[in-house]
């Protein structure tokens, strides 16, 4: 199916089902209940799950296959966002031209950075990409203010020309992004008992593009080109001995990875037409590295899992405060309640990074292959139990 083997087709279908049913899966608790705090089925967060999933998938093509660790991929995310917002300002509010331009500009930018950075490998390559990203951040923050609007960020105004669209709506407000008339912010809400499910047009556009990006990543992983990238990671010296030059392959992987990042940046601007220099900071580059390693570098679904895991912590655990904790433990005696809240307090709210850091440490120590390895171990455990039960019930012929 679609040129994939049975295993990859099953994986793609599973990802598609999970993505399409996300509004139900991410809202397991009734609205108004104490555990509703952990629901993640609202449009903004679901969009972030799939957009950063695209970002991590692209990064994994470079890092997971070739072993080249880039600390500057946020530069392409920022360039993609700026390109998309400029397209909204100059052409129209249709998201398709903006997304296409963000990929093209990010790809060209990746060719320049990759051509220079890939002359070195290992830690020197990582430092070069980090330096380029920080230069890009500083240029966007100060030097290129006429293009990026500096620290305020690039945003839409009523004075934008928009050649193929209107500059203002009938009520005098700024138009919203759309897909051939379908507004990205339009949301259908469905109430089922005490549950509220939200189906957002912007989320499903991002989800469809993520599935397409995931399918393309599978084809790259299984192609001869993907095998060459694995050979680069395994032993470049042997490749050279056989007469193969690894640089064109690594540059191609770098550009593809940069275009994925630009696509993610374009989608971020399409959902919220604002681009700021903070998207190009080194912390954003470090975040995608964490996503890929946490999920499982070199695996297909690992980066998507890692992106969802980190964004869930960032948006859910960061909102838990002392008032929420007191409401959870209010059934306890006052002294014990205050003691438990005091113990838990450093790990939630503004301290969510501490919890994430501990979990990341545990994964690296006990699951070097990331969350995917954890899932594989659980699957093997159940298969082992099933095999053991089968062997117990098996009858042997009499001798």
Inter-CA distances, 213 with 16, 58, 124, Å:
12, 8, 29
Q: Over 70: is that where the pLDDT of 395 sits?
A: no
| Tens-digit pLDDT profile for residues 239-265 | 888 888 899 999 999 999 999 999 999
| Tens-digit pLDDT profile for residues 29-41 | 888 777 788 888 8
| Tens-digit pLDDT profile for residues 144-174 | 898 998 888 898 888 888 888 788 787 878 8
DSSP label of 383: H
β-sheet bridge partners, residue 267: none
Q: Can you spell out the DSSP letters for 302-345? A: HHHHHHHHHHHHHHHGGG--HHHHHHHSTTS-HHHHHHHHHHHG
Q: Over 60: is that where the pLDDT of 56 sits?
A: yes
Long-range residue pairs from 281-286, CB within 8 A, at least 24 positions apart, any chain: 281/74, 281/133, 281/137, 282/71, 282/72, 282/74, 282/130, 282/133, 282/134, 282/137, 283/74, 284/74, 284/77, 284/78, 285/70, 285/71, 285/72, 285/73, 285/74, 285/75, 285/129, 285/130, 285/133, 286/71
Q: Is 157 in a helix, a strand, or coil?
A: coil
Half-sphere exposure for 29 (CA within 13 Å, toward CB)? 9
Q: Can you spell out the DSSP letters for 186-208? A: -EEEEEETTEEEEEEHHHHHHHH
Structure tokens, 211: 């599935």
pLDDT score at 390 = 58
| Tens-digit pLDDT profile for residues 287-344 | 999 999 999 988 999 999 999 989 988 888 888 888 888 888 888 888 888 888 888 8
Q: What percent of the chain has pLDDT over 90?
A: 47
Are the C-beta atoms of residues 194 and 33 closer than 8 Å to each other?
A: yes
Are the C-beta atoms of residues 136 and 75 closer than 8 Å to each other?
A: yes
The dihedral built from the CA positions of residue 40, 42, 43 and 45, taken in this order, carries a sign that is negative
For the chain, domain boundaries: 41-280
More confident: 30 or 383: 30
């Amino acid at each position: 199916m679609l040129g994939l083997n049975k295993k990859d087709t099953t994986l793609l279908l599973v990802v598609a089902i999970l993505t399409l049913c996300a509004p139900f899966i991410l809202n397991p608790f009734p609205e108004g209940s104490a555990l509703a705090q952990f629901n993640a089925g609202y449009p903004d967060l679901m969009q972030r799950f799939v957009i950063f999933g695209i970002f991590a998938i692209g990064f994994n093509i470079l890092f997971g296959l070739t072993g080249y660790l880039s600390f500057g991929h946020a530069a392409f995310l920022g360039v993609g966002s700026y390109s998309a917002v400029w397209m909204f300002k100059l052409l129209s509010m249709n998201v398709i031209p903006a997304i296409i331009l963000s990929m093209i500009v990010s790809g060209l930018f990746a060719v320049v950075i990759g051509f220079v950075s890939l002359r070195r490998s290992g830690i020197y390559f990582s430092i070069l990409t980090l330096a380029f990203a920080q230069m890009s951040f500083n240029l966007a923050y100060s030097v290129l203010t006429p293009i990026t609007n500096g620290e305020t960020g690039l945003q839409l105004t009523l004075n934008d020309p928009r050649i193929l669209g209107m500059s203002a709506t009938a009520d005098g407000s700024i138009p919203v992004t759309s897909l051939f008339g379908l507004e990205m912010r339009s949301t259908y809400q469905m109430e089922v008992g005490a549950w509220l499910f939200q189906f957002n047009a912007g989320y499903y556009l991002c989800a469809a593009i993520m599935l397409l990006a995931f399918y393309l990543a599978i084809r790259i992983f299984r192609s001869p080109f993907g095998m060459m990238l694995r050979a680069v990671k395994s032993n470049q010296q042997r490749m050279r001995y056989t007469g193969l030059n690894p640089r064109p392959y690594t540059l191609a992987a770098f550009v593809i990875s940069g275009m994925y990042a630009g696509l993610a940046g374009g989608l971020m601007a399409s959902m919220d037409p604002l681009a700021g220099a903070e998207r190009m900071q080194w912390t954003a580059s470090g975040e995608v590295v964490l996503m890929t390693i946490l999920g499982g570098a070199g695996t297909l679904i690992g980066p998507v899992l890692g992106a969802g895991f980190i964004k869930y912590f960032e948006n859910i655990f960061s909102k838990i405060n002392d008032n929420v904790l007191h409401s959870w433990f209010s059934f306890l005696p006052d002294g014990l309640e205050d003691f438990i809240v005091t113990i838990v307090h450093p790990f939630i709210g503004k301290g969510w990074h501490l919890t994430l850091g501990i979990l990341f440490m545990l994964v690296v120590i006990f699951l070097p292959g990331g969350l995917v390895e954890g899932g594989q171990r659980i699957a093997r455990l159940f298969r082992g139990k099933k095999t053991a039960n089968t062997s117990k019930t098996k009858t042997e012929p009499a001798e």
